[in-house]
Amino acid sequence: MKHFIQGFFWLGAYVFVSLLPLFVVFIGARPAGRDFVTELSVALGFVGLAMIGLQFFLTARIRLVEAPYGLDVILRFHREISLAAVGIILAHPALILWRDRSFEIFNLPAQPPRVWFATISTLALVAIIATSLWRQVLKLEYETWRILHGTLAIVALGFALGHVIGVGHYIANLWQQLLWTLMVAVSVGVLLYIRVFKPLAMKRTPWRVDQVRDEGGDVWTLQCVPEDHEGFDFSAGQFAWLTLSESPYIIEEHPFSISSSALEDDYVEFTIKELGNFTRHIGKVPPGQRLYIDGPYGAFSFERYPAAGYMFIAGGIGITPIISMLRTLRDYGDTRPLTLLFAGARLENLTFVDEIEELKQQLPHLQTTYVLEHPPDGWDGEVGFVDAELIDEHLSDYPWRNQYFLCGPMPMLINVEQALMEVGVSHTHIHAELFNLV
């Protein structure tokens, strides 16, 4: 109930702030002789501008805001709502073009500065969307994209405000000036928090890589210990951003699931597969390497959803947050019924299999099933993919009393979630964790 109330509050606050600039249009004196289409265009422009400004707030990783939803949900919302915001902003000039039935506005050399400002802001927004949707197609490395993304966002917001000032119709009154000043101040404050104050706080709590373990299959575990501080508490299944550097101010940081038990006080572990430009060197990180951890984040945890039992469905390296939950349940001495469906291309691609078999001795009601696309000769286990039939075979007698946790590649998550609902599991009992946050 607490998280529901918090979530409802923040959603309401988002809608309120997004619509707040409409007061600029509809309250107080308005320019004479302006038709409905013009006023509608202005209203859409202001709403879109407010929504763009709020994107800085959404991506600031403020724990009070992310707690009700989980940061992965907020970042997905940021992605989708950004598309809506840009669409609303593009409707602003589109309505003006439709009203005038003229393309003279594209004759930029003949236009005043406010039109130039609007054009630059719009192009920056389009570039943000294009580089985000097609980052991999454009072969942009994560760090390059992140710098470009933040720079373009600042350009878009700054030139949009320049356009508003250049038009001048809606900044004449003191209260209008105060409103715009407040919006700019909040945006600047969030930027300072992200790039100055948060790294400063992290600098006071450095960590050190204590050991690097080869888990097989190009998968490595970094065991990290705090330096001169007590570390942090987390819930099993959460994740954090790692900065492998002597300084927390560098731009390169990456999110990884915590794989160790939440009851372990001396260290935290991150199990990472070699997949990209950064992770392909993860096995070469030397013990003693300093790093900084921004976390924990996420709502993907059994500790948040009490139930009579749990089913975990993992694909490939998606086992990492789930092994954290299983280790934590072991340390709690938990006796509830637990089911693990673990899918992968080949048996050697399944990380922690030996430990999972040991956990079956320590968790008396843990049942495990491995599902392989390409099984070895003599394999007598499940073959293919996790589907509704397989899930139905492993459901308890009272499936509505359980909670279900899914982690793996996006196509698998979509199919498994649909399969769970096909066998009668409510969507409110299904929790999915995504690795691709950008």
pLDDT given at position 224 = 97
| Residue extent(s) of CATH 3.40.50.80 domains in the chain | 307-433
CB-neighbour burial class of residue 194 (10 A; exposed 0-12, middle 13-18, buried 19+): middle
The Cβ of residue 79 has, within 10 Å, a number of other Cβ atoms equal to 16
d(CA 361, CA 67): 34
- Overall fold of domain 2-197: Four Helix Bundle (Hemerythrin (Met), subunit A) (1.20.120)
pLDDT given at position 129 = 92
| Residue extent(s) of CATH 2.40.30.10 domains in the chain | 207-297
pLDDT given at position 187 = 79
What is the three-state SS of 236-275?
CCCEEEEECCCCCCCCCCEEEEECCCCCCCCCEEEEEECC
Residue length, the chain? Answer: 438
Q: Using 50 as the pLDDT threshold, list the residues of the chain that sit under it.
A: none
pLDDT given at position 32 = 64
Cβ distance 61 to 296 under 8 Å? no
Architecture of domain 207-297: Beta Barrel (2.40)
pLDDT given at position 1 = 65
pLDDT given at position 348 = 86
CATH 3.40.50.80 assigned to domain 307-433? The reply is yes
| Residue extent(s) of CATH 1.20.120 domains in the chain | 2-197
pLDDT given at position 437 = 52
